[in-house]
């Protein structure tokens, strides 16, 4: 821990080695970013030496500023190379049906999606109230984009069995004010690939842009397809697809802070840019949301791609595919657990059909055994589930996961589900966000062990409470709980 009285700004500076030791001590409380036991947040290829390379490349360009590509041509060159590689992987570039593809390097998937929506919105200045159509399984970042950009969000339900939207429902949701239709390849929660070709066709028929959110799968599906997996067309090979996002900080295994947003041509990209000369300072042209931005993540991503190459990614995808199939078998082997979808990408997602086997308790039992999975709340007719993002580093761990899952399930079943006090459950079901007073939030947080300091080891009660609450109350509780954590230390 940081020594008392020092904080981030001590009176006298602290020697470099001690500062680093302090950071390492803080990092000890984090979930393990390496080692194949964390199934969300991080993407670990398990390749020896890759971290050192990325770190060195990052350091090389950390102080370079992406604000002005003419001042730092190194960054422009690396960005153009990353966009070219992503475009080529996703059906664009010379000799394809999308030879004019262009793109931008953004800071992450959310930024890519916000910019895709912005470009679509600003291409239609004639519309007073623009709208976008997104399947219910689409990433929350589309809702964030709609919220930030004041664009209406039309959600299309997904079939509870296939977890895909019906194409007729997508077509029916398109209105004269619709500026963008979205599809996912795959959707994050369940790893299911939307019917992209059909969705793009109805969008094209209506003269509307179609964005494929391949933030998660864009750097995995092409390799899986080359390995023989039945991956449907989802990229620029599909005629009506006008833009695609792909996160390099996911399956390209680059350190955090890099995504690519591709457009089929420069005309489609133009309204994404923000140019400004109506002030006395430097003329500003921003392709992305940030103005000053570090070259570190871009150089690190460039180094990662160059070092791994196609052969490296193909090997990593083969390992990941093996891990997915081993994890799915482990789930099938446990009575009461059921795969929510047959894995078709790099996600394993399961639910419980046994009321005595509580998923949130199971997640805590797995955490206690060193396996960090991601619980997902019940939503719109879909059951609560457990999400596993699978990366290449998981492969050597698969044999240990099966027995751990079986053991955790047995203990969770013996413990039984979390039972909220009846008055708390009733409150969760009936309270409106407006009725949540600071006192009530503080009382709830204290009762759940939330507050300043690290989150409790067991989160089942928190998840059960959230699960019992309607969506608007969930959102408000999350905001309040995280707000309690984010307080300055002195």
Ligand X SMILES: *Cc1c(COP(=O)(O)O)cnc(C)c1O
Name the residue nearer to ligand X (CB basis): 113 or 409: 113
Handedness of CA 268, 271, 276, 277 (dihedral sign): positive
Q: Residue 79 or 247: which CB sits closer to ligand X? A: 247
Residue 43 or 313: the one with the smaller Cβ distance to ligand X is 43
Separation of alpha carbons 479 and 477, rounded Å: 5
DSSP E strand stretches across 248-339: 259-263, 274-276, 284-286, 337-339
**Shortest spacing between CB 392 and ligand X, in angstroms:** 17
Q: CA angle, 227 as apex, 223 and 232 as ends, to 5°?
A: 70
Q: Which is nearer to ligand X, 187 or 477 (CB)?
A: 187
Alpha-carbon span 283 to 279, nearest angstrom: 8
- Say if residues 97 and 186 touch (Cβ distance below 8 Å): no
Smallest distance from ligand X to CB 148, Å: 13
Q: Restricting to residues 307-346, name those near ligand X by CB under 6 A.
A: none
Compute the distance between CA of residue 436 and CA of residue 108 in angstroms, rounded to an integer: 33
Query: How far, in Å, CA of 277 to CA of 73, rounded?
Result: 22
Q: How far is the CB of 306 from ligand X (least distance, A)?
A: 22
Binding mask 198-227 for ligand X (x = CB under 6 A): ---------------x-xx-----------
Instruction: Establish if 247 lies at the interface with ligand X (CB under 6 A).
Output: yes
Instruction: Give the residue closest to ligand X by C-beta.
Output: 109
Q: What residues numbered 170-199 form the site for ligand X, per CB under 6 A?
A: 184, 188
Q: Which two structure tokens, joined as six digits, stand for 118?
A: 């912005």
* Shorter beta-carbon distance to ligand X: residue 141 or 473: 141
Task: State the nearest-atom distance from the C-beta of 134 to ligand X, in Å.
Answer: 11
Query: How many chain residues are in contact with ligand X, going by CB under 6 A?
Result: 13
* Closest to 239 measured CA to CA, from 216, 205, 194, 266: 205
Minimum Å gap between C-beta 133 and ligand X is: 16
Say how far apart CA 355 and CA 417 lie, in whole Å. 8
DSSP state of 46: -
- Report the residue from 61, 104, 110, 155 that binds ligand X according to the rule CB under 6 A: 110
Q: Which among 107-115, 198-206, 299-307, 439-447 is the span making contact with ligand X, rule CB under 6 A?
A: 107-115
* Dihedral sign of CA atoms 7, 12, 18, 19 in order: positive
Question: CB of 186: closest distance to ligand X in angstroms?
Answer: 7
| Binding piece for ligand X, criterion CB under 6 A, among 4-12, 106-114, 150-158, 431-439 | 106-114
* Residue 119 CB, nearest approach to ligand X (Å): 16
Residues whose CB falls within 8 Å of the CB of residue 73, separated by 6 or more in sequence, listed in order: none
Out of 37, 118, 131, 139, point to the residue binding ligand X (CB under 6 A).
139
By CB under 6 A, which span of 105-113, 285-293, 299-307, 444-452 interacts with ligand X?
105-113
Q: Is 288 among the residues that bind ligand X (CB under 6 A)?
A: no
Q: Which is nearer to ligand X, 199 or 408 (CB)?
A: 199
Contacts of 416 (CB under 8 A, 6+ apart): 356, 358, 361
Instruction: CB nearer to ligand X: give 44 or 247.
Output: 247
Phi-psi region of 107 (alpha: psi -120 to 50; beta: other; left: phi over 0): alpha
Which residues have a Cβ under 8 Å from the Cβ of 271 and sit 6 or more positions away? 118, 119, 120, 121, 122, 123
Part in contact with ligand X (CB under 6 A); list of ranges 49-57, 103-111, 307-315, 450-458: 103-111
* CB of 223 or CB of 357, closer to ligand X: 223
Closer CB to ligand X, 194 or 365, in the complex: 194
- Choose between 222 and 334: whose C-beta lies nearer to ligand X: 222
CA distance 164 to 342: 13
Q: How many CA atoms lie within 13 A of 53 on its CB side?
A: 14
Residues of this chain that interact with ligand X (CB under 6 A) are: 108-110, 113, 139, 141, 184, 188, 213, 215-216, 247, 259
């Amino acid at each position: 821990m940081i020594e008392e009285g020092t904080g981030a700004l001590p009176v006298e500076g602290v020697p470099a080695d001690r500062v680093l030791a302090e950071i390492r001590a803080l990092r000890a409380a984090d979930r393990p970013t390496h080692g194949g036991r964390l199934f969300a947040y991080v993407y670990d290829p398990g390749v020896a030496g890759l971290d050192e390379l990325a770190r060195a490349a990052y350091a090389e360009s950390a102080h370079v500023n992406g604000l002005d590509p003419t001042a730092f041509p190194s960054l422009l060159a690396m960005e153009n190379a990353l966009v070219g590689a992503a475009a080529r992987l996703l059906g664009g570039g010379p000799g394809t049906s999308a030879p004019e593809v262009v793109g931008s390097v953004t800071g992450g998937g959310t930024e890519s999606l916000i910019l895709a929506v912005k470009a679509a919105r600003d291409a239609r200045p004639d519309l007073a109230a623009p709208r976008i159509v997104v399947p219910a399984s689409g990433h929350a970042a589309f809702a964030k984009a709609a919220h930030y950009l004041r664009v209406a969000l039309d959600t299309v339900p997904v079939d509870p069995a296939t977890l895909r939207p019906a194409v007729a429902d997508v077509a029916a949701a398109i209105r004269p004010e619709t500026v963008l239709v979205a599809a996912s390849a795959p959707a994050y929660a369940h790893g299911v690939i939307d019917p992209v070709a059909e969705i793009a066709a109805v969008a094209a028929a209506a003269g509307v842009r179609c964005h494929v959110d391949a933030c998660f799968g864009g750097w995995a599906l092409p390799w899986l397809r080359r390995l023989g997996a039945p991956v449907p067309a989802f990229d620029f090979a599909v005629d009506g697809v006008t833009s695609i996002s792909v996160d390099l900080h996911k399956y390209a295994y680059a350190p955090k802070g890099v995504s690519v947003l591709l457009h089929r041509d420069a005309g489609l990209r133009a309204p994404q840019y923000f140019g400004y000369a109506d002030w006395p300072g430097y003329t500003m042209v921003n392709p992305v949301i940030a103005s000053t931005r570090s070259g570190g993540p871009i150089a690190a991503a460039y180094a990662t791609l160059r070092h791994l190459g196609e052969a490296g990614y193909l090997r990593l995808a083969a390992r990941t595919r093996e891990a997915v199939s081993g994890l799915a078998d482990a789930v099938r082997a446990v009575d009461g657990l059921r795969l929510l979808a047959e894995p078709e990408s790099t996600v394993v997602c399961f639910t419980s059909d046994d009321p005595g086997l509580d998923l949130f308790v199971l997640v805590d039992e797995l955490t206690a055994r060193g396996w960090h999975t991601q619980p997902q709340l019940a939503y719109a007719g879909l059951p609560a589930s457990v999400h596993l993002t699978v990366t290449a580093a998981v492969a050597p761990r698969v044999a240990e996961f099966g027995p751990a899952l079986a053991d955790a399930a047995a203990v969770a079943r013996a413990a039984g589900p979390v039972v909220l006090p009846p008055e708390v459950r009733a409150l969760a079901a009936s309270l409106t966000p407006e009725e949540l007073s600071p006192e009530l939030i503080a009382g709830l947080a204290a009762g759940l062990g939330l507050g300043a300091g690290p989150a409790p080891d067991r989160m089942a009660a928190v998840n059960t409470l959230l699960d019992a609450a309607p969506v608007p109350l969930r959102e408000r509780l999350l905001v309040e709980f995280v707000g309690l954590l984010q307080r300055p230390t002195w």
